[in-house]
Structure 1
Amino acid sequence: MSGSNKITCLIIPTGIGAKFGGYAGDANPIAKILSMESKHLLTHPNVVNGAVLSDLPSNLIYLEGYLLDQFLLGQINIVPRKENKIGIIFDRAISEERLRYELNVLNALRAFYGCEIIGWTVLKKPLNCMPQVNDFGFSSGKIENVEVLIECALHLKNKGATAIAICASIPDLDLNKNYISGSGIDPIGGIESMISRIVSATTGLPSAHAPALLSDERINYAAISPLSASEYIAQTFLPSVISGLRYAPQVVPYDLESASFSKSNADIKKVLVPYNAFGSPGVFHLCENLSKVILVKENVTALDVNPTHLNLQFDFINSYLDLVSIEKIKESGMDPSVFKRPIESINEIN
């Protein structure tokens, strides 16, 4: 591939309290501004998903974390495209009333986006998802009946799906209170990544998860941070997931036959990772073999890791905006304050 086809890869792991991208699509402005300096911007769902909000750059490649890591490792190639056939899996634990609500959302998305949704199915057994924040301070959780999820995902693949959305029932726990205020860990991020990883690892198809949150508590809208606000606009999270899966690439083998029409990890120009969250196998591989990994100092996480203590050749920048020209920032039309933390709530004009 020529230099003009180089890919910028933006990685912000979910559920570890990243200062930028650790909330509800709050890194989307970063993705948009970086896309202006890139032929292609490769990122994963939690960077750009904003529940009902979606504002994706046209050169985005949207790929779940497991497959993204396989791409960085050189195990697969990808072909950017925008004509996916999307299938949806619903958790058996979702009530009939909530299911009808989500199906109305799907019909609205097809009519609005014009995307091809081949159909939906319901798991034979509930996943009984239970999110947790572990002793290390990042989110994890437990899932039951994983075999029915795998069976259902393979069924959709056999029916022609090229991308899969999963909507699982997840309790909205007390763990959410700090997250809502913009100061804590996303308590469901870990379990969401587990669900999509299972689906993508077993099918080889891009996937993304949209939770159906369960809560009996009244929401205190005055306490919600702008960073997490998009999750409290409506009940559904499917709009941003379906929108993103339109931009999911075709996954092909890493071989000579696919080299002429696909992109490999050799097409990566740079990989941007939070300052202390760089531990994926794919990132280590690129750091050791291609020296393309850049750690962003302003984006710290809950992980207790110091990159300067490791014998690895990272590059460092202070801010994501260090990679963007002043002209591009002005051209974007975005409010510069969204690139700073904290983001303040909008004030009343007297």
Structure 2
Amino acid sequence: MALLWCRPPVPPAGASRRLSSPSISVARSPSIFRLSCFSTSSYPKFRRAYTTVLIVPTGVGASIGGFAGDALPVARTLASVADCVISHPNVLNAAMLYWPMPNVLYVEGYALDRFAEGLWALQTVHQNKIGLVFDAGMEEELRIRHLQVADAARASLGLPLMEYIVTDSPLKVEKWIDPNCGKSTGRIQHPDSLLRAVHTLVSQSQVNAVAVVGRFPDDEEGTEDYRQGKIGYTFLPCVLAGLSAAPQYVTAENRSYNDGYLIAGDVDSVILPADACGGDGALAFARAKNNKPLIVAVQENETVLKDTPEKVGIRATKVQNYWEAIGVVAAHKAGINPEALRRGGIDNVTAHTRKISSSQMHHQVYSL
């Protein structure tokens, strides 16, 4: 089940909405429809689909992807080259803005790490039915504003948003800057309240994806820029749009062979900032024993981290920017060594030097 956070800035005064009690649907197991995230006509039938993962870690001050929506152009361009792109909300979310891409899978960050480690698989779906959880710590006016947004998404986009629920106690979201590396991090003091709300939606309503709107502290840097209308008052629209077709997560013990799942071994390449290679997902992909993907490290996308490929001990192809990164992916997809596209990039083939021990040498001489 997909679970995402949506940060709610304070809305302008004067918002209003008629409140009504949510209806309760008959509980039953949701149907899952498998649908390939790529068109089979886009590549030769004797080749499998080319799958790439686009990662820009959250809360690390990335030059590209560290601001709402500014990594979307990268995702859109990459989606025109790869058959399937797997990415996460920090790349694909842009508050009131988003861009539908049928061959892009919207995967929550924690789930992406488990996928990379081979613990979870991704099952593509035709459509998810979405439930909405509100933090009890939100002001009533703020909750009404978000319900207005939810109704608008249902009416204008036809999104399958089923019901909402309010947690039985405030979640009390905390946030701070990690002094060791400078990245933004946080926690909720009452996760049990959130889990109870989610369990109620899943068990009593026809939902298989959940969006969570938590009340964040007001002292967040840059909040005023959002309130002045930079890109909108809430991230809820893009979250709902992403969840509507997000893949379901399948654990290793619950899946069988030939079920059409995407697994880590299906990934051909991974693109990420050059100084952000130390995450669980990045390391899992880079250290895979079988079907190891090409790791492409983008140097122009600087973050507060210092986890370069050399520091974390992984092998990566370094590029200056995302123009080069997507060019490398295009060559890799075509079965071409990307270095062949550069002047002097390919050296002469070298002979393999076989080392022979003294005992082997004695045996060979004796045999003659």
Q: What is the TM-score normalised by the length of structure 1?
A: 0.74
Q: 2:198 aligns with which of 153, 169, 174?
A: 153
* Residue 293 of structure 1: aligned partner: 295
* Residue 233 of structure 1: aligned partner: 231
Structure 1 runs (4+) greater than 3 angstroms displaced: 1-4, 228-233, 253-256
* Distance across 1 between alignment mates of 2:259 and 2:168: 42
Q: Deviations over 1:28-62 (max 9, x none)?
A: 11110000001111100111111111113221100
* Residue 135 of structure 2: aligned partner: 91
Q: Measured at CA, do residues 25 and 134 of structure 1 come closer, stay the same or move farther in structure 2, by a change above 3 Å? A: same
Indicate yes or no: 2:61 matched with 1:31.
no
Indicate yes or no: 2:164 matched with 1:164.
no
* Residue 338 of structure 1: aligned partner: none
The alignment yields a C-alpha RMSD, in angstroms, of 2.4
| Counterpart mapping for 1:332-347 below 5 A | none
Count of residue pairs the alignment pairs up: 279
Indicate yes or no: 2:93 matched with 1:49.
yes
Cα distance, 1:100 vs. partner?
1.4
Q: 1:120 aligns with which of 129, 139, 164?
A: 164
Structure 2 gap ranges (5+): 1-35, 37-45, 331-368
Q: Which amino acid aligns with 2:115?
A: F
Indicate yes or no: 2:349 matched with 1:304.
no
Alpha carbons 2:178, 2:185 under 8 Å: kept = yes
Structure of larger gyration radius = 2
Structure 1 gap ranges (5+): 181-212, 214-218, 329-350
Cα distance, 1:157 vs. partner?
2.0
* Distance across 2 between alignment mates of 1:9 and 1:229: 32
* Distance across 2 between alignment mates of 1:293 and 1:11: 11
Q: What is the TM-score normalised by the length of structure 2?
A: 0.70
* Residue 283 of structure 1: aligned partner: 282
Cα distance, 1:23 vs. partner?
1.2
Cα distance, 1:316 vs. partner?
1.7
More helix by share: 1
Q: 1:251 aligns with which of 243, 249, 256?
A: 249
Identity of aligned residues (%): 31
Q: Deviations over 1:116-161 (max 9, x none)?
A: 1110000011111122112131111242111111111122222332
Q: Which amino acid aligns with 1:238?
A: L
Q: Measured at CA, do residues 46 and 259 of structure 1 come closer, stay the same or move farther in structure 2, by a change above 3 Å? A: same
* Residue 26 of structure 2: aligned partner: none
DSSP 3-state at the match of 1:171: coil
* Distance across 1 between alignment mates of 2:286 and 2:107: 20
Cα distance, 1:324 vs. partner?
3.6
Cα distance, 1:291 vs. partner?
4.3
* Residue 21 of structure 2: aligned partner: none
Cα distance, 1:108 vs. partner?
0.6
Q: Which amino acid aligns with 2:299?
A: K
Q: Which amino acid aligns with 2:321?
A: S
Cα distance, 1:231 vs. partner?
7.0
* Distance across 2 between alignment mates of 1:257 and 1:22: 38
Alpha carbons 1:52, 1:230 under 8 Å: kept = no
Alpha carbons 1:51, 1:231 under 8 Å: kept = no
Q: Measured at CA, do residues 162 and 3 of structure 1 come closer, stay the same or move farther in structure 2, by a change above 3 Å? A: farther
Q: Which amino acid aligns with 1:139?
A: S
Q: Measured at CA, do residues 22 and 259 of structure 1 come closer, stay the same or move farther in structure 2, by a change above 3 Å? A: farther
* Distance across 1 between alignment mates of 2:78 and 2:227: 23
Alpha carbons 1:78, 1:250 under 8 Å: kept = yes
* Residue 324 of structure 2: aligned partner: 322
Cα distance, 1:230 vs. partner?
9.8
Q: Which amino acid aligns with 1:257?
A: S
Q: Measured at CA, do residues 65 and 230 of structure 1 come closer, stay the same or move farther in structure 2, by a change above 3 Å? A: farther
Cα distance, 1:65 vs. partner?
0.6
* Distance across 1 between alignment mates of 2:311 and 2:190: 41
